[in-house]
Amino acid sequence: MGAVIIVDALWGDSGKGKVCAHLARRDNVQLAVRAGIGTNAGASVTLDDGTHIRARQLPTGWLNPSTNVAVGPGVLIDPTVFADEVERFGLAGKVFADGRSGIIAPEHVTLDRTDPHLVETVRTTGSGTGPARADLVLRKAQQAKDVPALGEYLTDVPRLVNETASTGTVLVEGSQGTMLSLSLSSDYPFTTSGNCTSAAAMDDVGLSWQRVDDVVMVVKALPTRSGAGPLPFELSTDEVAERAVVEYGVVTGRQRRKAAGIAWELLEYAAMLNGPTQIALTFCDHVDPAVRGVRAFDEISEPVRELIRRVEEVTKAPVTLLDTGPRLGDLIDVPVLAQS
């Protein structure tokens, strides 16, 4: 019983949606709820049959058939994106939204895509989340309760989350990454429009700290960053291609910038901020292609084992999930005896 928060250590795109889907299936959880800013960050999951799932508004926990999903009141809702995902994923009767969530309107998207500072300096995703959040702070934005099309989905999500966590398991899927946090990153203005920590995720969904059982911090073996801002150990586009580790953003389709390794001082800072109890180490096949698709821990190579040891040393938390390839089944549970 209780809540499990899934949070990204660095700049996002680390596989939080994959982790959410895996845990929902493994533990047959009752509810997965989306935290984060809005629709400016996407999640993608590739099933073992090759089906590719892309989402921007709803958490991926619905990939377990008995898991309901919700959007927290601190998360902005784009009614068009919301409706598309409900229909595309067949979630009628299984999805909830909070009437207090702010709304991303068409004018917010237009502003996000035309404002010179946002487009040229920040290199925003153009989803409208920044302008919508600004209007919400100014108390000018609509809320979900003002949109008739959302009426059938509305409930008190914080009450749903806390009551469910008192008798079962709730997954809280964060978005983006700790080092993109508006108030905690040193990279302003190259940040998102809110914070992306475990505490922020709790706030986004109205979760009491007393209901938190675990914080799973997702660490990407070779970090990436979308948009502008510093990226330690950044590889050139030619180097990325030579290593065959090219990635593209879910929302923008832009090629992600890729690092040659983890900035350990930033990872330590992220661990301090988030207080992880577990680590999900993802994209390990980008460090050592020999482990691509490996699904048994005893077949993991020494370079990846060394990375596990270093990550555990820096974060002071055990690596409990290990990602070795693009498919959902490539995310494996690390045996307890193998955890430091």
Residues labelled catalytic = 13
233 is known to lie in a ligand binding site: no
Neighbour count for residue 109 (Cβ, 10 Å): 19
Task: Answer yes or no: are the C-beta atoms of 19 and 219 closer than 8 Å.
Answer: no
19 is known to lie in a ligand binding site: no
d(CA 106, CA 66): 34
d(CA 260, CA 304): 14
Distance of CA 200 to the CA centre of its chain: 13
196 is known to lie in a ligand binding site: no
Task: Answer yes or no: are the C-beta atoms of 76 and 34 closer than 8 Å.
Answer: no
Q: Among candidates 150, 137, 61, 54, which has minimal Cα distance to 98? A: 150
252 is known to lie in a ligand binding site: yes
125 is known to lie in a ligand binding site: yes
Report whether the peptide linkage leading into residue 73 is cis, meaning its omega lies within 30 degrees of zero.
Answer: no
170 is known to lie in a ligand binding site: no
Task: Answer yes or no: are the C-beta atoms of 160 and 31 closer than 8 Å.
Answer: yes
122 is known to lie in a ligand binding site: no
Q: Quick one: 252 exposed, middle or buried, by C-beta within 10 A (0-12, 13-18, 19+)?
A: middle
283 is known to lie in a ligand binding site: yes
Residue whose structure tokens are 């690596």: 319
Inter-CA distances, 212 with 47, 160, 201, 206, 335, Å? 29, 15, 11, 12, 23
176 is known to lie in a ligand binding site: yes
277 is known to lie in a ligand binding site: no
Rounded to 5 degrees, φ, ψ at 123 are 60, 55
309 is known to lie in a ligand binding site: no
90 is known to lie in a ligand binding site: no
254 is known to lie in a ligand binding site: yes
324 is known to lie in a ligand binding site: yes
Q: Among candidates 271, 187, 268, 284, which has minimal Cα distance to 226? A: 187
Q: In this structure, what DSSP letter does residue 233 have? A: T
26 is known to lie in a ligand binding site: no
Binding residues for substrate, as ranges, are 250-256
Known binding-site positions for IMP: 125, 139, 176, 192, 254
Binding residues for GTP: 256, 283-285, 323-325
Q: Which residues are annotated as a binding site?
A: 13, 42, 125, 139, 176, 192, 250-256, 283-285, 323-325
